[in-house]
Chain A
Amino acid sequence: MPTIRISGGLYACILAIFIYATQFVFLPATVIREAYQEAWLAAAISGLYGLGVALVSTWIALHARGSSVVQLARQSLGAPGAWLVGGLYGAFFTVIFGFGLRNVLDFTVMLLLPGTPGIPVVALAALLALYGSWQGLEPTARVAFTSHLFAATMILALPLFLGREYRVLQLDPFLWEGLEPLARGVVKALPWAGQSLIALTLVPHLNPKVPPYRWTAFGVAMGTVLLALPMGVATLVFGPILPSRFLFPSYELLSVIGVTEALERLQVVLVVIWMAVAFVKLSVGLYAAARTWREVFGVRSHRGPAVAVAAVGVGITQLYTGVLEQIESAGDPLVTAAELGTQGAVLALLALAVLLYRRRAGSGAGLHG
C-alpha cells in the first residue's frame, strides 16, 4: 500500500487541474471552431466522458487495493499484460507531459517572453516539473490546492469582470447550426477530458477514510465547469465566430478586462496563476509516467525514469515547428483516435484484470499472490 496519503480535497484539486489546466488556454479555440456558441455544451458533455473515465479508474484502483496499474495487470494478466497496460499508461502520460510542456512553451514564448528562445523555457519548465515529481505526490498536491484555489477563483470571477463586455445580441439561436457541429466539438474535447485517467495513479494515495467516488465526481465536475465556463463567456463577449479565429480565446478574454482605467491588463497576473496550475499538471503527469515506467522496467526509484520522461517530453516539444502545427496535430482525427483508444484500452484491460482477480479471489487466490 502507498504510504503517501492525500485528502479528498487535494485529490479533487489535482483531478480538476487535469481537466482544465492546459485545456483552459488551448482547447477553447478548437472546440469553438467546431461547435460555435455551443462550445460550452460540448465541454460539458465531454465532461461526462471524463467523469465516466474517472469513475471507472476509481473503481479499478479501489479493487486493486493499493496496487499500482502495473502490479494489478501483472497479477491478473501476467507479464505481457503488465507490459501492455504499463506501456500504454506510461506512454499516455509521457505524451501528455510532452504536450503540456509544448503548451507552456508556446504560450510563454508567444505572449509572456517574446524573443526568448524556446529551449531554455522548455528546459526550465521540465526541470521544475522534474523537481516536483521527485518530491512525490504530497508536496505537489499541496501546491495544487493553493494554485487551484487562485485559478478557480480567477475563472469563476471572469463572468463578473466581463459583465459589461457581453454582447448577447451577437449570439445565434440555440443549436443554430444543428447537432453536427456540437458533436464535432464533443469529439475534439473528449481526449482532453479523458485525462481524468490520472485517477488510476491518484486513488491509491487517497485517504481511505474519504468517499472516493464522491471526491472523484466533485473533482471532474469542478474541472469541467472551469473549462466550460470560459468557453461560454468567450462566445458571450466575442460572439460565436470571432473566438474560433483566435489561438487563445481565454487569454483574449483576460486581456479585455478593464475594471477601471487604472485596473486593466490583468492578464499578466492571471497568466502567472495559470502557469502555476500548468506546472502542477506537468509534475503530476511526469510522476504518473515515471512511476509506471519504473514498475514496467523494474527500477527501484522513480527518479531515474522521471529524468528519462522529462527528456522525452522535451523531445516531444521539438517535434512541432510551431503552435499552429501543434494545434492542428492535437485536432487530427488519428491523434484523437489514438488518445481515446489508449484511454479505452487501459481501462478495458484493467477492468478485465480486476474481474479476473475477483474471480481468482473467489477461488481463494489474492491479488498479491
Chain B
Amino acid sequence: MGRRILVLLLVAGLLTGCWSRVEINDLGVVLGIGVDVGEEQAVRLTFYFALSGRPAGRGAQVGGEPVWVVSREADNLSDAIRQISLASARRISLHHLRVVLIGEEYARKGIADLLDFLGRNEQVRYTLRPLVVRGRAQEALETLPQLKGLQPTNIVGIMEAKGGVNWRLKEFLIARISDTHSGWMFAVEVIRRPAGIPDAPPTAVSLRGAGLFYGDQLIRFLDASEAQTLSWLMGNPRESIISTPCPEDPNKTLSAAVLKGGTQIRPVLRGRTFSFDVLASAQVNLVRLECPEAVATTGDRQLLEERLAADLKRRLERVIAVFQATQTDPPGFGKRLQLAYPDYFRSIRKRYPQLWPEAEVRIATEVTIRQSGLLGGPVNKRRGEVPQVQ
C-alpha cells in the first residue's frame, strides 16, 4: 500500500506540467504580422501584440485597446523577429496569429521566404489569412480599427462579413505549389476618412480588390469589380453584386445581389487545340432598381435578366483576359484540362503556361431574378403614373 502511494505521489509530481511552462501574463500574443521592404535593411517586420492580462487604459495602446504595435528591420524575417524579441518583455507567441499583411513592394519582390517561414513555424496555423496591402503593411496595422477592437480581428471580421470565397494561407500554399493554379490574395488599403468628424481617426483599413501572383511575386492588382468577378470563377459568388445600366435609360442602373450562383468551366479539345467553355449562372435578388421596367411581368424581367447576364459576361471576359495577359490561372483552367484530357495535358505539361494565353475562352451567362426584395414594383411612381405639370 505504502509503495503504491509512493508511486502515485511520484507520478503526480511528474504530471504537473510545470516544465517549460509560460504563464499567460508572460506571453506576447501576436494577432497580426506586417511585412514590408525595409527603409535601411531588406525586411521591415511589424508585430501587432494583444497584451493579455493587461487592462485597457494602461501601457502602450492603440485606440484604448491594450495592444503594442512594434516594427524592426533586419536582413531577413528571422533576424527581424529576433530584433522584436529583444524589445519585448513577453515571449512571442504566434499561436493566435490571424492575419499576415504583406506590403505591396515586398510582395512584388517575392514572398517565398515569408511562405517558407509561415509553413515551418509550428505555432502558425494554415487557417490564417494572408492579405496584400496596397501600400505599406505597417501602416495598415497601425491604423485604428472601425467596428472591432483590434485591427487583425477587424480585418478578419471584414473578410467574413463580405461572404464569398474564404481564402486562407492553406489555399494560397496549395495554389502556389500546384502546377496548374496561380496564387492570389485579397488586398486591403488604408483609406483617408473624411475630415471634420470629431475624435475620428484619420484613416481606416478597407478591402479593395485582390493581388494576383505569378509564382511568389505580386504582378498585378485586380480592382474591386475584378476581384468580385474572381469569386465567380473561384466557385463562390454568393453575396456579390451585379450592377448594370437599365435597358431603356443607360443613365439609370439596377443592382442585383447573388443568392446562389456558380461557374462551370469545361475544357474542349479539337485536334491539338484546346479551348474552354465557361457557363456562369446565378439566381439573384434585385436590391435596387432605377429602371421603369416592372419586375412582376415576365417580359420586363427577362429584359433585366438579359442585361444582368450581359454585364456578368463582360466582367468575366475582362478578368479572364487579365489572367491570360499575365499568364496566371487562379481558377485552375489548366487543372480542368488536365483532368479532362490527361494524356493530352501530359504532352503540353511544360508548355501550358505559354499556351494558356492563346486559348479561346467562350463565355455564356444566365441570370434569373428570383426575387426583388420585398417589392413587386417600385415605391416611386412610374413615368406614366406621374401627373403632367401644366
Residues of A near any B CB (own CB < 8 A): 110-111, 113-117, 120, 124, 165, 167, 169-173, 176, 237-239, 241-242, 245, 252, 255-256, 258, 264
Given contacts A252-B126, A255-B126, contact A170 B20 (CB under 8 A): no
User: What residues on A are CB-neighbors of B174 within 8 Å?
Assistant: 167, 170, 238-239, 242
Once the chains bind, are A113 and B171 in contact (CB under 8 Å)? no
Once the chains bind, are B338 and A169 in contact (CB under 8 Å)? no
User: What residues on B are CB-neighbors of A245 within 8 Å?
Assistant: 119, 177
Cα distance A11–B20 in the bound complex, in angstroms = 39
User: What residues on B are CB-neighbors of A171 within 8 Å?
Assistant: 339
Given contacts A120-B19, A245-B119, contact A170 B127 (CB under 8 A): no
Listed by A's residue number, 24 A-B pairs whose Cβ atoms lie within 8 Å are A110-B122, A111-B122, A113-B20, A115-B20, A120-B19, A169-B332, A169-B336, A169-B339, A170-B174, A170-B178, A173-B338, A173-B339, A173-B342, A176-B338, A238-B170, A238-B174, A239-B174, A239-B177, A242-B173, A242-B174, A255-B125, A256-B125, A258-B127, A264-B127
Beta-carbon nearest neighbor of B342 in chain A: A173
User: What residues on B are CB-neighbors of A170 within 8 Å?
Assistant: 174, 178, 181, 332, 335
Cα distance A171–B122 in the bound complex, in angstroms = 26
With both chains docked as a complex, state the minimum distance between the C-beta of B90 and any C-beta of chain A, in angstroms: 15
Cα distance A117–B20 in the bound complex, in angstroms = 9
Cα distance A120–B15 in the bound complex, in angstroms = 12
Going nearest first, the 10 A-B pairs with the smallest beta carbon separation are A115-B20, A173-B342, A239-B174, A116-B20, A116-B19, A241-B177, A242-B177, A169-B332, A256-B126, A170-B174
Given contacts A170-B335, A176-B342, A258-B127, contact A114 B122 (CB under 8 A): yes
With both chains docked as a complex, state the minimum distance between the C-beta of B115 and any C-beta of chain A, in angstroms: 11
Task: Say what secondary structure dominates the interface of chain B.
Answer: helix
Size class of the B contact interface (CB-based, 8 Å)? 20 to 34
B14 located at the interface, meaning its Cβ lies under 8 Å from any Cβ of chain A in the complex? yes
Cα distance A245–B126 in the bound complex, in angstroms = 14
Cα distance A169–B233 in the bound complex, in angstroms = 13
User: What residues on A are CB-neighbors of B170 within 8 Å?
Assistant: 165, 237-238, 256
User: What residues on A are CB-neighbors of B342 within 8 Å?
Assistant: 173, 176
With both chains docked as a complex, state the minimum distance between the C-beta of B184 and any C-beta of chain A, in angstroms: 15
User: What residues on A are CB-neighbors of B339 within 8 Å?
Assistant: 169, 171-173
Once the chains bind, are A169 and B173 in contact (CB under 8 Å)? no
With both chains docked as a complex, state the minimum distance between the C-beta of A117 and any C-beta of chain B, in angstroms: 8
Which residues of B (153-185) have their CB < 8 Å from a CB of A? 170-171, 173-174, 177-178, 181
With both chains docked as a complex, state the minimum distance between the C-beta of A250 and any C-beta of chain B, in angstroms: 14
Cα distance A190–B20 in the bound complex, in angstroms = 38
User: What residues on B are CB-neighbors of A255 within 8 Å?
Assistant: 125-126
Once the chains bind, are A256 and B20 in contact (CB under 8 Å)? no
Once the chains bind, are B19 and A169 in contact (CB under 8 Å)? no
With both chains docked as a complex, state the minimum distance between the C-beta of A123 and any C-beta of chain B, in angstroms: 10
Beta-carbon nearest neighbor of B345 in chain A: A173
User: What residues on A are CB-neighbors of B335 within 8 Å?
Assistant: 169-170
With both chains docked as a complex, state the minimum distance between the C-beta of A171 and any C-beta of chain B, in angstroms: 8
User: What residues on B are CB-neighbors of A116 within 8 Å?
Assistant: 19-20
Beta-carbon nearest neighbor of A238 in chain B: B174
Cα distance A183–B74 in the bound complex, in angstroms = 46
With both chains docked as a complex, state the minimum distance between the C-beta of A155 and any C-beta of chain B, in angstroms: 20
With both chains docked as a complex, state the minimum distance between the C-beta of A230 and any C-beta of chain B, in angstroms: 16
User: What residues on B are CB-neighbors of A252 within 8 Å?
Assistant: 126
